[in-house]
Structure 1
């Protein structure tokens, strides 16, 4: 692809003396966007299924998305990565996910180029290229492109949004969060110091407010400067939550059940031309029937609960649509809607994370690979009226995920179409005046094509150098010709890999190897399936045995593409998720935490407690009326809290929604040492004990360990930040800030790690020697 040379200050140093004088200062010219350059708004929705928007056949009311599609193009053959971080990396760099450092989500760091979970230093982002081309660059929402060990407040920020091309940022850098009580919000380069949220707070609305404010601030200071807004929604990722008014508007809509709704969506898709008339729904095993019951087989109570889950999900989609409407309204007020390119897409297919029956205990699902004891509760019962609100971290059942992905099979995390075939809408009313034709487009598009296309439409060349080094070439290519020509060619081929599964799309064929090969089979070996997508877009008929030569050709093509894209090694033994660098070891060292500061970051906190025994040692000066939280870790999704409640020590333990409480005796005035101990027991459980001045005063003899992503909200000292651990305590005292005493010292002392913790800390010098050998 043609490149422009970056013309920074260094390129002009040799000529400064020719032009500068003592009386006339000289500055290198700054690049400017061409006159009339369009604004660009990219709206990325998290875990949205192919059929969840009105233009793609949904019954969910999305008038603002519909209006956007009416002013542009609906792409029916768009594919993305099967999980979120890889899709975001490809979107922002124009590179395939592994080449962009993201072979998986940003929670691993095994030391291989395709799995650094950091964007490469020599990869220019869309924001960096547009900023060099004269754009203001703005972002709100979910980042998820910084490896989790570098999200804490003392971390290297080179992979944070501002360092990757954005002038402004507001949002959550982690993979997801509560929409009612975000576990952590960052503005620009700093965590926001706030202790609580208003009663009716909702993150989607907050992000929209911030996006509008950023646009207004640009316009107040530069009336004609084009801007790029990247709005990465936290919705509709779990925990799935929504506003009460939006949930109420969905009442009764899903009583007919997932079988009927799936058929209705397919019928609409056929009428709209989103799928060919011959497309049919996968049935039986292909439709995951082993984990999804027929709606008619469910009890009345199950149908009521499951329908309510989908009402909440639909309400969350509605809130995204409302956000799109507010942005469109502001652009219209500014007179700039016509000359704004709006992109709406999902980062992957709809997800079955909620399991066969859905869950009200979302974090209890993140326990893959662990030998869970009998009785492990994946769905702690709660009042159905609480679904979608701040007290429940829930997710809809897999039956509704299948509806979301209509007409495809499988879900997020799979390389079948349900995992990678997603909605894409592109709108640019100004181009319509130049003769472009709206409507559906069937060209094969991949997420890495978005950056080249947007730069092409904006008339901005990709940044040629970054930090003194030439930037890498795109894997994607502009699909701008397709906007004006329904017959324009699309992408020739695209490879996929995740967790050792492999796939290649090369029209009309798609080859899928759903499991890693054995060492004897080789990287291109294993059990490959073959589908003719032109005749069978739903992957219902494997024709590999009928066309072995085509399977062989596609498998060899996949291997060539895999080497070019730094895919190897394949995660065929799980080691990509267990090997970590020695730089993480210090995160598990004892630490003293100051009171009343923003919570310790989520991953930093987890390294002190998850899959290990630990102690919290507090030195407290107690008076006759001392009350409040000493330490809180977690939220309504799971956590624990130590407080003095009317001078009495209280331990609240939230086991994914199942509350346990134990109290000691009233403390005498004076300086007291209070120690909370969590000691590992067999069966992934803890014994929680409380000592005061060395004497045991209370105990929870056995509670489930908090694992995986729980506790999600980090450690706060002196108050219970954001989403409370103990809702009843919260209703009485709010954040329950420690008062009428002195928190002299709170220290976390991690103990022995569980034998179930398979993490291997690899020293860099040892890794180098291993490669040399």
Structure 2
């Protein structure tokens, strides 16, 4: 048979493979009669105690029902951040071996940090599809480098190319639930000019899921399906519907100290923790970052309680989504033979800071040092929290409640960062005993377990290349036998923070070692998790030999799993491939098309000066948006309004506007200048035919992930930059005027931009030296 030569994307590099002339993907045989459907529901940034079966006061009746007839895992751990957990879940590999030692935003050039799934690592979807399953996904993907999310990008790492028949959702790490910044269906961006009143993404994800199932059943009544439902809740910005927020009004007036104690008491009653377990004291449990509730004034308590009411509503909506899915399966007669796995990707997050924020993007994802007078929380009506006008994140005190009873938060290797809820349900499974399971299970164990339960063998090859052996092992026997053994050992690493669990012992190094100390060096703590599951008693000084042994074990595991190099000087994740430089070249845009993708847009504007050149033909009555970039989290807009130009700037919720002179009919050359000033500020000015027309003198730069919504021309897509303008005109599509040309010209990078662009040749030369 004639050989076929081709290329696969492997870890961000081109790798040649040879196969026969047949397609590389395997055939789709008929699944075995009675094969179960599989649903994996993954919730973003959900803390260990946020669901009813794990001690929460938030009503979650559908999750409770799942737990009552299933298995509740109390000793499940995941990666400290979202992309690494998702990569491990889908491949059965440890996060770094799956290419994700970090979230999908950088590629510093090392195998453990490519932020691309390896070409020789079949996903759970690919194996199930080969076994005769229909494969569906909705929600957050976050397993493609952000520089490969634009419309001309290589799609080899997109969901359909990694085993899913259908996909609908946000490829990025998060989005607004009221006005998503970008939605993708299958391999194409969804071209929606304006969202209807009352739109809410969680509801649409459920509708899309039900439609995929129904369309399958219309055509094939027997074929099992795999649905990966990856919620965008409860990641920031935390948003919910007003009707759900109102259900939780007043629930959090007692404050975070009381709620944390109440959750822990319920956990002990439920048998999740032994009676000897202790709630970590304020000194251990980030008390320096969390004010005592009783010391807050009335306004602060009202504001902080509102943040948690919205968070509770978001969790409530996750529960509702599960209820709608299970009700539909029950109606189809398929619920009994459906495996449902419900979990979180990491612990609750402290991104909101001690006071929370109503200006989420003012600090999220910012890699440069901010001035002392930087406003991190624009003061706005607390009633707006959760709604479409405001991007918020709850305070650290509530994040600690979410992670009850553990220490620390997302991105930490303490239990608060990695200990997550896990529930498995399969009503028709021939199992003797259901209920609590305390075996150690890691996220990479989920794919092998699901494949065994479904009766599907993992793919032995992908793309003509032998598949990597998984790091995870099936824990299907744990469902059948409460005394079956779990995992013994697992390493953890996140931005240089390290940990190793080995049986009942856990070694934790909460800060990266110096280069001189080496990968296994630095300061380590030691905990006996059997006697002290909440890490309250550091035994390192009493047992230095065990500490040294576990530190060396961690170092050996790190070498086997491509964990090195550690980010010991803070520059690892500032390094990016020089191939991205082309994304910062001038761009000529086309009116009324879908917005330029978020990261592509940001390369033109973030941490730099830039200008926008517009050739406009003005007619009588001309009005509408010329250019919009951003949303209620931060952005800028230039529109024809009231006969002249309107310049709007949204500084993370603080609105500023400037108006120009009346604009006559005919052709005009309009230029928007955005000039960098000291202290991370911009000056915005508009010229019409070479004459100054309007200006905003000094505003905070948009940094990090802002502007989040990409650049739209001829209308304001999605979440509006200027809410007052939106209330009058909605997306304000341009009329009685035409844009003949619009070009964005980036200026030089700011001195505050610490990004390091490197070519492969430079890296090879450095290694050779």
Cα separation, 2, equivalents of 1:714 and 1:546: 55
The Cα of 1:772 is off from its aligned counterpart by 2.3
Determine which of 252, 255, 258 is the counterpart of 2:256.
258
Distance 1:435 1:751 in 2: 64
1:417 match: 415
Correspondence list, 1:258-407, <5 A: 258-366=256-364, 368-407=366-405
Correspondence 1:91-170 to 2 at 5 A: 91-170=89-168
- For the residues of structure 2 that align with 1:147 and 1:89, how far apart are their CA atoms? 13
User: Do the aligned partners of residues 12 and 763 (structure 1) sit closer, same or farther apart at CA in structure 2, a change above 3 Å counting?
Assistant: closer
Superposed CA deviations along residues 529-571 of structure 1, whole A, max 9, x for unmatched, are 0011111111111100111111111111111110010001111
In structure 2, do the counterparts of structure 1 residues 98 and 29 end up closer, same or farther at CA, with 3 Å as the change threshold? closer
Change (3 A) 1:29 1:253: closer
Aligned equivalents of 1:110, 1:372: Cα separation in 2:
24
- Number of paired residues? 749
Q: Distance in 2 between matches of 1:350 and 1:681?
A: 36
SS in 1 for 2:493: strand
> What residue is the counterpart of 1:18 in the other structure?
none
What CA deviation, in whole Å up to 9, does each residue of 1:164-220 have, x standing for no partner?
Answer: 000000000000000000000000000000011111111100000000100111111
Contact kept, 8 Å, 2:92 with 2:445, in 1: the verdict is yes
Q: Deviations over 1:288-318 (max 9, x none)?
A: 1111011000000000110011000000000
- Distance in 1 between residues matched to 2:68 and 2:188, nearest whole Å: 39
Displacement of 1:162 in angstroms is: 0.1
Per the normalisation by structure 2, the TM-score is 0.96
Partners of 1:637 and 1:105 in 2: CA distance: 21
Instruction: Measure the CA separation in 1 of the matches of 2:595 and 2:56.
Output: 40
2:576 to 574, 580, 585: 580
Q: Distance in 2 between matches of 1:219 and 1:31?
A: 17
- Aligned residue among 730, 733, 742 for 2:729: 733
- Assess if the C-alpha contact under 8 Å between 1:160 and 1:189 holds in 2: yes
Counterparts of 1:699 and 1:337 in 2: how far apart (Å)? 61
CA distance in 2 between counterparts of 1:369 and 1:29 reads: 46
Deviation at 1:436, TM superposition (A): 2.6
- Is 1:723 matched with 2:692? no
Tell me which of 675, 678, 693 is aligned to 2:674.
678
Stretch deviating more after TM superposition (569-578 or 177-186): 569-578
Indicate if the aligned counterparts of 2:88 and 2:94 stay in contact, CA closer than 8 A.
yes
**Which has the higher mean CA deviation after the structures are superposed, 165-174 or 196-205?**
196-205
Task: Provide the secondary structure at the position in 2 that maps to 1:545.
Answer: coil
Q: What does residue 190 of structure 1 align with?
A: 188
**Greater CA drift, 515-524 or 116-125:** 515-524
The answer to whether the 8 A contact 1:103-1:115 is kept is yes
- Residue number in structure 2 paired with 1:62: 60
- 1:367 Cα deviation after fit: 5.4
Aligned-pair CA distance for 1:131 = 0.2
With over 3 angstroms needed to count, the CA separation of the structure-2 counterparts of 1:10 and 1:503, relative to structure 1, is closer
CA-to-partner distance for each residue in 1:519-538, whole Å, 9 max, x for gaps? 22111110010011111111
Is 1:539 matched up with 2:535?
A: yes
- Give 4+ residue runs of structure 1 displaced > 3 Å after superposition: 9-13
Q: How does 1:605-624 map to 2 (within 5 A)?
A: 605-624=601-620
Look up the SS of the partner of 1:64 in the other structure.
Answer: helix
Which position in structure 1 is the counterpart of 2:471? Answer: 475
Task: Determine helix, strand or coil for the equivalent of 1:268.
Answer: helix
Equivalent position of 2:14 in the other structure: none
Relative distance call for 1:634 and 1:476 in structure 2 (3 A) is same
Q: 1:237 aligns with which of 235, 238, 246?
A: 235
Q: What is the CA-CA distance between 1:325 and the residue it aligns to?
A: 0.2
For 2:744, the equivalent position in structure 1 comes to 748
Q: Which residue number corresponds to residue 523 of structure 2?
A: 527
CA distance in 1 between partners of 2:616 and 2:470 (Å): 58
Residues 528 and 451 of structure 1: CA distance in aligned 2, closer, same or farther (over 3 Å): same
| CA deviation after TM superposition for structure 1 residue 281, in Å | 1.1
Within the candidate set 541, 560, 564, 2:560 is matched to: 564
Q: Distance in 2 between matches of 1:34 and 1:367?
A: 47
Gaps of 5+ in 1: 1-8, 14-27
Using the TM superposition, name which of 688-697 and 44-53 deviates more.
688-697
- Asked whether the equivalents of residues 195 and 721 of structure 1 are also in contact (C-alpha less than 8 Å), the reply is yes
Question: 1:499-538 residue pairs with structure 2 within 5 A?
Answer: 499-538=495-534
Q: Which residue of 2 aligns with 1:659?
A: 655
Q: How far did 1:368 drift?
A: 4.3
Once the two structures are TM-superposed, the CA of residue 765 in structure 1 deviates from its matched residue by: 2.0
Distance 1:522 1:320, change over 3 A: same
The equivalent residue for 1:248 is: 246
Q: 1:488 aligns with which of 475, 478, 484?
A: 484
SS at match of 2:661: coil
Matched-pair contact (CA < 8 Å) for 1:109–1:576 = no
Q: Distance in 1 between matches of 2:442 and 2:247?
A: 35
Question: Hey, what does 2:8 align to over in structure 1?
Answer: none
How far off is 1:646 after superposition? 2.2
